[in-house]
Amino acid sequence: MSLLEVEDLKVSFDTPRGTVRAVDGISFAVEAGRTLGLVGESGSGKSVTSLAVMGLHRGAAVTGSIRLSGQELGGLGERELGTVRGRRIAMIFQDPLSSLHPFYTVGEQVAEHYRVHFKASRKAGRARAVEMLAEVGIPEPARRVDEYPHQFSGGMRQRVMIAMALACEPDLLIADEPTTALDVTVQAQILDLIARIQQERGLGVVMITHDLGVVARVAHEVLVMYGGRAAEQAPVDRLFAAPAHPYTRGLLDSLPRLDDTEDAPLRVIPGSPPSLISPAPGCSFAPRCARTTAASTEEHARCLAERPALGPLAPGHQAACHLPLVPEGARP
Ligand code: SF4
Ligand code: MG
């Protein structure tokens, strides 16, 4: 049994223009002490997936199974879900400033959930906050615990968010683009901090990002999402060494390289993400896929007519593509 098991998750919601199928049948597992990188462009469904896991999908229709240490979260009431969110699953976001309250000290905010869930006194809460600020590497925690969010830099605020998330000792941390707003050096420090704490606590982590550089740094397993579906799933080394889906390949090709000159043009995958309201039949990546353009007429027709299912390529490695980029004969 894995720490988190998600099976055939579907999330949709109605808009005046039609039903948006934001997540359309994805499955994954996260083990204790491991990080799953959830990768995709904006609109790929990665944030919606994490909100569904947290039970924060108000107004959306959710089907499928979400189990935490074997316990199905789908049927839980709001109260029980509140306890799961506060104590067993924690989440951090891209923008700590919008998640921190400007009028309360960081210490009060770090201690808040802890005090509620452990019925701790103000004094015990403050002591816990100092301890947590020290754990996430904030200097002089006993003094800074009484300061306000605006007195902290962006990187330090993200450390405060991590302290807040971990104060109740959750089993699972969901981090949604936690370093996107930070400069590269601070970004690396925060990712290293999350990795260190994960090792020390045996925490399961879901790292949501559009950046394969972040994935390379922290993830053990990777799920690449496209248009609300899984494009490819693989252990991280395998994904980088032998990407099978043309979309993954495109993401890898758009990573900045060491030999790039400063004015080198940014490599991006041409085209835009697919419609989630009335998706075309066939493969949703087809309008952007160089591989199908270069394929034979029959192969190209199949890409346009038949939606590719996730198929196995190697242990732990699957891709949803009719023409996966794997060496001849490697497909079972
Ligand atoms: Fe490209 Fe066809 Fe594979 Fe889709 S199924 S990614 S269109 S090759
Ligand atoms: Mg997002």
Ligand 1 center to 293 CA (angstroms) = 9
| Ligand number nearest to the C-alpha of 247 | 1
Residue 287 falls within a domain, yes or no? yes
List, chain by chain if needed, residues with CB within 6 Å of any ligand 1 atom: 245-246, 283, 285-286, 289, 291-292, 303, 308, 321-323
Residue 55 resides in a domain: yes
Atom from ligand 1 closest to the CA of residue 246: 6
Number of helical H runs and strand E runs in the chain = 13, 12
Helix-helix angle 154-166:106-118, to 10 degrees: 10
Burial 137-163 (b: 16+ CB within 10 A, else e): bbeebeebbebebeebebbbbbbbbbb
Is the Cβ–Cβ distance between 4 and 206 less than 8 Å?
A: yes
Domain membership of residue 111 (yes or no) is no
Closest ligand 1 atom number to CA of residue 284: 4
What Cα–Cα distance (Å) separates residue 29 from each residue in 210, 221, 271, 287?
20, 9, 31, 30
Nearest to 41 by CA among 268, 323, 307: 268
Q: How many domains does the chain have?
A: 1
User: What is the 23 CA–ligand 1 centroid distance (Å)?
Assistant: 19
50: which 2 tokens?
């994490």
So what's the pLDDT on residue 327? 57
Q: Atom 5, ligand 1: which residue's CA is nearest?
A: 321
Q: For ligand 2, a single-atom ion, which residues have Cβ within 5 Å?
A: 47
Does the ipTM surpass 0.90?
yes
Query: What CA–CA distance (Å, rounded) separates 36 from 90?
Result: 15
Q: Which of 229, 299, 310, 322, when mutated, tests ligand 1's pocket best, judged by the most ligand atoms within 8 Å of its CB?
A: 322
| CA-CA-CA-CA dihedral for 45, 47, 48, 49, to nearest 10 | 80
pLDDT of residue 328: 46
- The contacts of residue 115 (CB under 8 Å, 6+ apart) are 121, 122, 124, 125
Contact 186, 193 (CB under 8 A): no
Cα atoms found within 13 Å of the Cα of residue 76, Cβ hemisphere only? 21
Distances (CA, A) of 302 to 276, 281, 286, 293, 294: 21, 10, 10, 12, 13
Rounded distance between C-alpha atoms, residue 244 and residue 242, angstroms: 6
What residue's CA is closest to ligand 1, atom 3? Answer: 321
> Residue 330 has what pLDDT?
53
In a domain, 113, yes or no: no
pLDDT at 19: 94
Strand order in the sheet with 71-72: 18-30, 4-15, 61-68, 71-72
Domain span holding position 32: 4-103+148-259+267-319
Give pLDDT, residue 262.
Answer: 67
pLDDT at 85: 84
Show the tokens assigned to 273.
């993400």
**C-alpha angle 225-17-274 in degrees, rounded to nearest 5:** 25
Q: If we measure between CA atoms, which residue out of 53, 63, 59 comes closest to residue 9? A: 63
Query: Distance between alpha carbon 216 and the CA centroid of its chain, in Å?
Result: 14
240 CA → ligand 1 middle, Å: 19
Q: How much distance in Å is there from the Cα of 185 to the middle of ligand 2?
A: 22
- What CATH number did the domain enclosing 306 receive? 3.40.50.300
Nearest to 89 by CA among 126, 41, 141, 53: 53
Per-residue pLDDT of the chain (332 residues; tens, 9 = 90+): 999 999 999 999 999 999 999 999 999 999 999 999 999 988 899 999 998 998 887 789 999 999 999 999 988 888 888 888 878 999 998 877 778 899 999 999 999 988 988 899 999 999 999 999 999 999 999 999 999 999 999 899 999 999 999 999 999 999 999 888 888 889 999 999 999 999 999 999 999 999 999 999 999 999 999 999 999 999 999 999 999 999 999 999 888 776 666 666 666 788 888 889 988 899 999 999 999 999 999 999 999 999 999 999 999 999 999 999 985 445 54
d(CA 245, CA 253): 12
Q: Which ligand is nearest to the CA of 320?
A: 1
CA-closest residue to ligand 1 atom 7: 286
Strand partners, 11: 23, 62
DSSP 280: P
Give the up-direction half-sphere exposure of residue 2: CA atoms within 13 A in the CB hemisphere.
18
**Alpha-carbon span 236 to 216, nearest angstrom:** 7
User: Could you tell me if 22 and 48 are in contact, meaning their C-beta atoms sit under 8 angstroms apart?
Assistant: yes
Identify whether 231 is part of a domain.
Answer: yes
